[in-house]
Structure formats: C-alpha cells, structure tokens
Amino acid sequence: MKDKDVYKILNNADTKIPQSLESVSNAEIDKLKENFLKSIERPKKTNRFFKYAIAALLALALMGFTKPGQIIYAQIVNFYEKMTNPIAEYSIESEIVDESITRINSEISHDGVKFQLADAMLDEKYLVVNMLFEVTGEELIEDFPEGSNLVAAGWYKLLVNGKNINYNSGTIKGTIVDDKTHQQYYGFDLKENLSEEDVLTLVVKNVSVFNFDEGMLVLEGKPYEEVKTVEIPGEWTIDFKISDSKEKLKTKFIEIEKEITKVNDYPVVIKNLRLNAFRATLNLDYENESGYLGQKIYFKATDEKGVEYNFINSTSANNKITFHYYGEEGKDLMKGEKLTFQGYQSLDVDDKGEELFTPFGEEFEVILK
C-alpha cells in the first residue's frame, strides 16, 4: 500500500467524537495526546502536514485500522488539527523561523491546571513563547455550561538566573484547541541581552478558567458577574535556556535617522528599519518625557510594485516606539529594493464609530539594497 493511501484511509475515517467510548478509555486518549505533543515534529508550513504526520505514526502504532483505532485517531485529529506553531505561523518566512525555534516541551501540573511551555525563540531582545494551558481537574468546570472553556493566565513574570528582568509586553495571541485546552502565544520585548548560559524562568500567576460561550455574552452586555468563572491562585513555573536566533533569521538593519514631524513641539524621529525572516520592525523616538504620542498611529509601507504593508504599534517604552509587521506577504517586502513609508493617525471616528485615519508626518523612503 502506498503512503498516500494510508493517509487517504485515515483522513476519511470517522472523526466525529462518539457519545460512548466503550473500547478506549479517556486516560488512554489523554496519554496519546501527551505523547504526541512531546514527540511529534511541528509542521513547517501548514496543519495539513501535521495531520499527515499523526496519521503515519498512528498507522504504525495501532497496527491496523480497527474501530478503536479509528476512534483514537478521531480524538487525536480533533485535538491537534486546530493547533499551529504560532511562532512560525505569524512570521514572514515560516520555514526559516521553524528551524530557528527552540523546542522545550516542559510542563507542570497542579491545582487542576497543566501548563506546558512548548517552544520559544529569541530574536535579539524579543522573546516569544508558545504555551498550552489545559484543565485537568474536572471539578473546576463541572458546573459550566457545555462548550469550550478558556484557560488564561492572570499575568506572567520572567526571571533570568533567578532575578526579575524588565520587559514590555509584545504580541499576545490565543487559540481554543478543544473544550479544555487553550494555546497562547506571548511576546516579551526585553530591555537587556541574554546569553546562552542564562537560565530563564517563566512564571505564570493566578490562572482563570471561564466558559468561552458564556464569556462571549459579555460582548453583548451581559454583566461580568454572571459569567461562569473559576479563579485559581498560585504559580506555574518552568525553567529553560535559549540562544539568540538573529543570525539564523538573516537579520538586516537599516539606519534612517529622519525627523518626520513634531508633536507638542517634540520631534518624532524614525530611527531604523529592522528586517528578518521572523518580523519587520520600524523604530522611532519621541523625545517627550511621557514617550506617549497621544493617538493611535500606524505606518503604511509601499514597495515599488505598489504592494502595501501595515506596521502596527506593538511596544512603547522610554521614548522609544516600535511598529511591527508580521505575515507571509513580508517575503516580497524582503526582496524589494525600496519602501515608501507614510504614517497615519486616528483622531476621530465616523458615524458608525469606526476610526478615521489622517496622514501623520512626512512621507519617507528607505532603500533596502
């Protein structure tokens, strides 16, 4: 039998979760999930390859396509097909980034919650982590309505060699994996460089579990007090080491040093553009004591072919503001010769409450090659 036939048979298996699993216990399924999460290779491009890898492993592990085997496969696919590697997914060149990621796969469980640090990557002073939170204590959600449950940390703390490290919060993204599991992507914009010998400690504090379907009603005006929520105090702590991937990511640094406008008589200066396979960042200085420009701003870059790239404000501290661009379209950005930037600011809203953007500062060009 050819490999593609194996995939075809497995992918056509019944992936609906049966009401009763008489042949397979939940403990066996949970163990399989855990083992696959620790051992399976992350997808380099799309979830399709991840699903095929699972199918191939299960074909060997189950020694045939029995009904229990199909049930286990259905459970695993439903759990994993929603998962991605967000560090690579949100990058400019995912294949290069995937090869630069540090696989950690370390976990800690207590008080009914499992916290796993799956992967991390360091791009100079920007650390990103891919985490999973899973409800393991059924008693935490026994009174919840049926539906997905979101597990979220109250806040994070990062230590280096046992000491607190200063950072600004960067990009935060989350994905519901299943009714007990939540995947989170978090960025730390560090204020100091790390070495390969440094031991980092990621501390998760005060986890909350709330019903996702109920939580959505908050957007429709339902009082927060009526949302099914469980607060779990405590700390979940994982140690790890990581090396800088700046060179692997093919980083390019372009000095600009251009004043584009003044706000409240203080100059706004574009400092530089930094490009690599993971992200593109436009960095500016605003010499006001507060370091706050007072309005929502983004920069639109246009290449010589007319393709536009939006750089969105991600971090701001100590008079320095960073605008990030993420996305696969950035491959073309990396290959271009010139970018023309124009800033835009939001000072008002229209009748529908949507923001109205007007030009901010002078247009400027950046030569990439």
Distance CA 187, CA 193 (A): 15
- Residue 265 CA, chain-centre distance (Å), reads 38
Q: Where are the alpha helices (DSSP H) in 81-114?
A: 86-89, 94-98
Distance CA 358, CA 214 (A): 38
Q: Which two tokens stand for residue 329?
A: 């379209």
Q: How many CB atoms lie within 10 A of CB 254?
A: 14
Burial (CB count <10 Å: 0-12, 13-18, 19+), residue 93: middle
**What per-residue confidence (pLDDT) applies to 94?**
87
CA terminus-to-terminus distance, the chain: 51
**What per-residue confidence (pLDDT) applies to 148?**
59
The set of residues, in sequence order, having a beta carbon less than 8 Å from that of 259 and lying 6+ positions away, is: 267, 268, 269, 270
Residue ranges of domains in the chain, CATH in brackets: 3-80 (no CATH), 86-240 (2.60.40.1630), 252-367 (2.60.40.1640)
Distance CA 86, CA 129 (A): 9
Over residues 155-184, the pLDDT tens digits come to 788 999 999 988 887 777 777 777 788 888
**What per-residue confidence (pLDDT) applies to 295?**
65
Residue ranges of the chain with per-residue pLDDT less than 70: 1-84, 145-149, 211-227, 289-295, 314-318, 327-328
3-state secondary structure of 366: strand
